[in-house]
Structures are given as C-alpha cells and as structure tokens.
Amino acid sequence: MSPLSTPHKPNDRSLLPARTSKSFDSLYRDHVDLMYRFANRLCGETEAAKDLVQETFLNAYRGFKKFRGDAQVSTWLYTIASRACLRMRRRRKGEPDRELSLDEFIPTSDGEFRLQIPVDGLSPEEALQNKELRQALDDAINKLPKKYRMVLVLRDMEGLSAKEVGTVMGLNERAVKSRLHRARLFVRRELSARGMTETAGAQDRLSLE
C-alpha cells in the first residue's frame, strides 16, 4: 500500500485506469485530423491550431467520464474545441468582436450589386489553385468576428447542419442561420472587393501605358 500520509484526491488524473487511457488513444487517433482541420480554420495559423487541438483533447480526456454518448463524439469534440477557442482568443489582444448588421452589406449602387469574385469561370477546386485567392479567402474568414467565423467554419467548411451548429454553439437554428448569412455576406464583400481592386489596378496600369 502507499506509504503516503496525504489522502489521494478522488479526481487525481494520474490514477485514471488504463481503460480510460486506451479509450483516449482511440478517440485521439480517430479524431485528431478532424480537430486539426477545424482548429486551423478557426485560428488561421498552424501553431495556434496545434495549441487548440492539445487543449481540446486535454479537456476531452478530463471530461471523458461525463460524456454520456447523447451526442456524436465529433459534435462533443467540436463543442469542446469551440469553447477552448473562445477562451484562447479572449486572452489575445486586438481581436475585434462586433455585431455585423445586415445593412452594412446592402449594396448602394448597381456596381456594388454586381461585384463578382474573380474566379474566371473556373470550378472552385481550380480557382483555389490560385495561391492569392486562397490567401484572400483565409484573410476574409480571419477578419470575421469570432462568433460569425465559428458559424461559417462549422456550417460551410466542416459541413455540419444548422441544428448541429446550434448544439455546438448553444444557439437556436434561427440564430445560426442569421449569423451564417451575415458571415457569408461579409466574406463575399471581402472577396469581391479584392476583385474590384485588382481590376481597378489593372485598368490604372493600362491607362498609364
């Protein structure tokens, strides 16, 4: 028996049974790539994404006994990661978090209505072979206030349903759809404004020649 006089805390993680560790291994193996992809999309940089993945699985390890299997494992992990991301980002400075109003996306001229994304009739896969477009899309998503970015990433990039996004973020479906619409309008404006700038730049160059 242990000669230690101090009593063991019941939640001492070093005493977790080997079974938990084995279950954790399979949880980690099956979901680490999914969580890394999600974390990259949320954080926009690989080091922060790795931190977030570690934080997520650490919290998952600790909360393992509480997971009752009501939700899918992936939904549970998305929820843990989203909460961890909110905490991590709160610690960082300069992260703008504001409400997006629909009014700011309403075009005020025919030209604004008709702005297009510069994809030149290519399929999305082909268009995204262009490094500048990939970067512009990443930049646009990173510029979104975090609560809008999370909804866009979960719904349009991770492919969750609006109901699942609601479960992960603790929102009703109506709120999810409202945020999603604003987030898409934001990204559309960022990407098409870039197209406009490029076109204007090209025209400027032409007029100088």
Partner 1 sequence: MVKRTAPRRSARSAPKAHEHGRRRCLRILRALSAFIDDELSDDVCMEVRRHLGDCPNCEDFVASLRQTVSLCRHQPTPTLSSADRARMRETILQTAGGR
Q: Are 149 and 42 in contact (CB under 8 A)?
A: yes
Nearer to partner 1, 128 or 200 (CB): 128
Is 41 a residue that touches partner 1 (CB under 8 A)? yes
Q: Which residue, 83 or 181, is less far from partner 1 as judged by CB?
A: 181
DSSP string, 141-167: HHHS-HHHHHHHIIIIIS---HHHHHH
C-alpha distances in angstroms, 52 versus 29, 92, 122, 161, 193?
16, 13, 34, 23, 32
Q: Which of residues 158-177 bind partner 1 (CB under 8 A)?
A: 159, 177
CB-based contact 74:34 (threshold 8 Å): yes
Residue type, 97: D
Select from 48, 73, 188, 193 the one that contacts partner 1 (CB under 8 A): 188
Residues within the interface to partner 1 (CB under 8 A)? 13-14, 16, 21, 24-25, 28, 32-33, 36-37, 40-41, 46, 50, 53-54, 57-58, 61-62, 102, 105-107, 110, 113-117, 119, 124-125, 127-128, 133-134, 137-138, 141, 152, 156-157, 159, 177, 180-181, 184-185, 187-188, 191-192
